[in-house]
């Protein structure tokens, strides 16, 4: 799927949620000629490998959310698979935190006290591949572990985002990764590592996206 088709897809997706964005010639969709702006780019996989959908959201001149999604399938089918993952796991959080359109049926919404401030927290569903979520009961322990270590951080009073990933191979090797504002976050990675992830006879992965916005009083 080329940039023009992706731009049209996103434009219609936002329109369905009553958000009007303006397309520009570089593939971006902008908000009233300003930020936030969003753009998607598809990179087809080689030799049957999954492709990759990159979604960028520019919040200001200095800050940008960068997320990527694997797409399984040949040609456009792979891109649509990645778009489905984006829409299911991340889109509604972006809509709430960046465009202030909230659908509490699509995410968990809570509040965390971090430092001297209270934060509105938008938590997307865990996206699980290679296993059924019901077979991973430890997912319920992942977010409290992340909350505990995040409360030790000194967050600036602005929008922040987390990407949490666990990958488990059939041979028993596993990898956890936590990113805070696009950057590797060691404390979050160690918190994910502390979870008792089960062994399996096949590969599986779990991924979650979280956004935090400081509450105004």
CATH number at residue 170: 3.30.500
- Cα within 13 Å of Cα(106), Cβ side: 18
Domain boundary among 67, 99, 131: 99
| pLDDT surpasses 60 at 72 | yes
User: For 45, which DSSP code?
Assistant: P
Mark whether 144 and 195 lie in a shared domain. Answer: yes
pLDDT at 27: 86
pLDDT at 135: 82
Of 155, 141, 154, 158, give the one whose Cα is nearest residue 192. 141
Residue whose pair of structure tokens reads 């992942």 in the numeric block: 142
Domain that holds residue 140: 108-214
Q: What is the mean pLDDT of residues 137-149?
A: 92
Of 211, 95, 93, give the one whose Cα is nearest residue 158. 211
User: What percentage of the chain has pLDDT greater than the value 90?
Assistant: 77
| pLDDT surpasses 80 at 73 | yes
pTM of the complete model: 0.93
Distance CA 46, CA 182 (A): 26
Count up the domains in the chain and report the number: 2
| pLDDT surpasses 90 at 133 | no
- Residue-wise pLDDT for 164-195, tens only, equals 999 999 888 999 999 999 999 999 999 999 99
User: For 172, which DSSP code?
Assistant: S
Mark whether 181 and 116 lie in a shared domain. Answer: yes
Distance CA 21, CA 14 (A): 8
Backbone φ and ψ for 83, nearest 5 degrees, come out as -65, -40
* Cβ proximity of 41 and 26 under 8 Å: no
pLDDT at 109: 97
- Residue-wise pLDDT for 77-128, tens only, equals 999 999 999 999 999 999 999 999 999 999 999 999 999 999 999 999 998 8
């Amino acid at each position: 799927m080329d940039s023009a088709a992706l731009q049209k897809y996103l434009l219609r997706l936002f329109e369905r949620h009553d958000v009007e964005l303006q397309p520009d010639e570089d593939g971006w969709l902008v908000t009233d000629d300003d930020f936030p702006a969003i753009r998607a780019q598809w990179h087809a996989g080689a030799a049957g490998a999954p492709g990759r959908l990159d979604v960028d959201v520019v919040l200001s001149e200095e800050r940008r959310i960068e997320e990527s999604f694997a797409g399984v399938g040949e040609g456009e089918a792979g891109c649509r698979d990645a778009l489905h993952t984006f829409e299911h796991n991340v889109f509604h959080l972006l809509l709430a935190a960046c465009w202030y359109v909230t659908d509490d049926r699509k995410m968990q919404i809570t509040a965390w006290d971090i430092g001297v401030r209270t934060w509105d927290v938008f938590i997307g569903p865990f996206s699980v591949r290679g296993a059924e979520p019901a077979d991973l009961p430890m997912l319920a322990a992942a977010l409290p572990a992340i909350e505990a270590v995040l409360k030790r951080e000194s967050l600036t009073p602005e929008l922040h985002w987390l990407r949490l990933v666990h990958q488990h191979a059939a041979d028993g090797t596993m990898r956890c990764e936590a990113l805070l504002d696009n950057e590797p976050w060691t404390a979050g990675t160690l918190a994910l590592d502390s979870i008792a992830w089960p062994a399996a006879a096949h590969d599986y992965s779990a991924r979650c996206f979280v956004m935090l916005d400081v509450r105004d009083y």
